[in-house]
Structure 1
Amino acid sequence: MTAHSPKWHFEQIGDEGQSFVWLHGWGQDSASMLRLAELFKAEGQHRIYDQPGFGRTGRLQDGAGTEDYADALALELAQVGPGPHILIGHSFGGRVSVQMAARHPTLVKAIILIGGAGLQRRRSLAFRLRAFVLKTLGRLARLSDKLFSTSFRDAYVERFGSADYKNAGPLRLTFVKVVNENLVQEAKAVRCPVLLIYGADDTEAPPEIGKKYEQLMPIARFTEVKGFNHWDILTRGAYQCQALIKSFLKDLRDD
């Protein structure tokens, strides 16, 4: 279990029936999942969480990975009451959902990933070469700062760092660890039913990731939704997601 587990803040909808756990993406909070969660208020009880380091929930230890988030969530759910729970994760929340299903299977009835990240994407040779050069430059900048008290690392981050990296603040070590994770083995270990929903126009977590998850997970259903990207699938695409999730939930009840 993780060394430090803060109290998780959540919004709640409903107070009886099947337990649903909603996990937002990186840089977001529970508000990003509320619109979709409210469409299921008649389906059970819903806890829409601020994950550690976001919204009103305190941080985990420096450099925590998604396995630490899953372990902390397992501690939180042990206090909530009996499961198993259905987890709905968007993007980064999808990573944590996969870890939960792999590491704490008795707590998880099913997982639903919406634009779920966690697997490495196919990259062109040009992209890989550029990434290698930039990583080398970053290491040299860090070494120069250490040896000669320069400030090349700050300049490097300003020039080449992604918006998420620049905005990560105290979560920067966690961000670096998370984006370098590859949850292949964890995906193979998932034994619960899985629904995979991906926007056809998603460039952050493209449909190829969902298709790969479907191949890795024993009981998985992949759906590509045309006309939506990584973010508007939760807003403009809420009703499309609702229809797919309701069909999935019906199949769960019928099993």
Structure 2
Amino acid sequence: MSESVIGVESFTTVRGLRLAWVDFRPPGDGEDGTPVVALHGHFGRARGFASLAGALAPGYRVIGLEQRGHGHSDRGDGDFTPDAYVADAAEFVRGLGVGPVVVLGHSMGGVIAFQLAAQHPELVRALVVEEGGAFNRQPEIPHPVLDVTGWPRRAATLHELRRGIEARGIPDASYFLESAVERPDGWGLLFDYDDMMASQRALVGDWWSGWLGSECPALLVHGLDSFVLPTAMAREMAQRRPGTVLRELPGCGHWAHDDDPEAFAAAVRDFLATL
């Protein structure tokens, strides 16, 4: 059962960027818990880890970084390559001053997490990768880029913004509406559409070397109904990387943490208990 946690949004300067982050401190006697740094996927927000943070409290303290170009973080100079995200995450983790940490990432955040472990092994004691593939290119991945160029920039109401996004083929816009804000000229999303297109395109490629480039324990969580990470690839990733545990969640898609929060949290909690 999840406990209530309070997510406190703060800002820090990382490599010249003002980045937002959320500290989900567990309740209780003041114990901070073992830190877990969480990296969201494209279009996501740090606060999307609130449910997981509650489920892992009080033994673990989830710290969500709002990555460049997302949420309330600066976009920087327009560099949305994986290397830029990794460098941001590395400096952020160093700034926490809590030693090597567990790094958890969803989708794009999962790729950044295992690239971080490969490039900066001294910062990462274990990995939790949800739906972050080691290969992200056609034809193996039919749709590696979600085209958002035609999405509404502004709408009179939040309901109209939802309706406009879902009219572009999105069955449920809730994930994207975590970034919805009301501005003087109407409702819109915090992220820039052109930035997100550039970021997605930069993630198209072969990331096997990064996935295989670290030796820390790893959990790979895969939703069996995912349209992003094929089951065959998830199984190959687990088979090829020593020290990797694969958890397949039936009835879950690419956003397994939303489709079945309890099963996802249980998979993460069981893995962390083995460290």
Of the candidates 227, 238, 252, which is equivalent to residue 228 of structure 1? 252
With over 3 angstroms needed to count, the CA separation of the structure-2 counterparts of 1:216 and 1:172, relative to structure 1, is: same
What does residue 239 of structure 1 align with? 262
1:45 is paired with a residue of what secondary structure? strand
Rounded Cα–Cα distance in structure 1 between residues aligned with 2:76 and 2:242? 31
Q: Does 1:7 align with 2:18?
A: yes
How far did residue 93 of structure 1 move? Answer: 0.7
What does residue 198 of structure 2 align with? 173
With over 3 angstroms needed to count, the CA separation of the structure-2 counterparts of 1:226 and 1:77, relative to structure 1, is: same
What does residue 151 of structure 1 align with? none
**Going by fraction, where is strand more abundant, 1 or 2?**
2
Contact 1:90–1:116 (8 Å) recurs in 2: yes
Rounded Cα–Cα distance in structure 2 between residues aligned with 1:163 and 1:28? 16
One-letter identity of the residue aligned with 1:37? A
Question: Between Structure 1 and Structure 2, whose CA radius of gyration is higher?
Answer: 1
Map 1:118-157 → 2, pairs under 5 A: 118-120=134-136, 123=139
Contact 2:137–2:205 (8 Å) recurs in 1: no
Deviation readout 1:193-247 (Å, 9 max, x if unpaired) = 000111110012232332222133221011211111112x212311101111121
Deviation readout 1:163-208 (Å, 9 max, x if unpaired) = 3466632343332111x22111111111110001111100122323
Of the candidates 172, 182, 205, which is equivalent to residue 229 of structure 2? 205
Q: Give the length in aligned residue pairs.
A: 215
Contact 2:39–2:67 (8 Å) recurs in 1: yes
Unaligned runs of 5+ in 1: 132-160
Of the candidates 59, 73, 83, which is equivalent to residue 75 of structure 2? 59
Q: Normalising by the residue count of structure 2, what TM-score does the alignment of the two structures yield?
A: 0.71
Of the candidates 102, 106, 111, which is equivalent to residue 95 of structure 1? 111
One-letter identity of the residue aligned with 1:210? A
Deviation readout 1:101-137 (Å, 9 max, x if unpaired) = 001111001110111234136737xx98xx9xxxxxx
Q: Does 1:249 align with 2:272?
A: yes
What does residue 154 of structure 1 align with? none
**Going by fraction, where is helix more abundant, 1 or 2?**
1
What does residue 163 of structure 1 align with? 147
Contact 2:253–2:259 (8 Å) recurs in 1: no
What does residue 78 of structure 1 align with? 94
How far did residue 51 of structure 1 move? Answer: 1.1
Contact 2:80–2:195 (8 Å) recurs in 1: no
What does residue 185 of structure 1 align with? 209
Contact 1:7–1:76 (8 Å) recurs in 2: no
Deviation readout 1:34-61 (Å, 9 max, x if unpaired) = 2122211212222112111100111243
Q: Normalising by the residue count of structure 1, what TM-score does the alignment of the two structures yield?
A: 0.76
How far did residue 4 of structure 1 move? Answer: 4.7
Contact 1:11–1:47 (8 Å) recurs in 2: yes
Contact 2:42–2:196 (8 Å) recurs in 1: no
Deviation readout 1:132-178 (Å, 9 max, x if unpaired) = xxxxxxxxxxxxxxxxxxxxxxxxxxxxx843466632343332111
Contact 1:94–1:115 (8 Å) recurs in 2: yes
Deviation readout 1:4-43 (Å, 9 max, x if unpaired) = 5423211112262311111111111113222122211212
Contact 2:109–2:132 (8 Å) recurs in 1: yes
Percent of aligned positions with the same letter in both sequences?
A: 22
With over 3 angstroms needed to count, the CA separation of the structure-2 counterparts of 1:165 and 1:98, relative to structure 1, is: farther
2:136 is paired with a residue of what secondary structure? coil
Rounded Cα–Cα distance in structure 1 between residues aligned with 2:79 and 2:117? 22
With over 3 angstroms needed to count, the CA separation of the structure-2 counterparts of 1:176 and 1:166, relative to structure 1, is: farther
The Cα RMSD (Å) is 2.4
With over 3 angstroms needed to count, the CA separation of the structure-2 counterparts of 1:237 and 1:120, relative to structure 1, is: same
One-letter identity of the residue aligned with 1:67? D
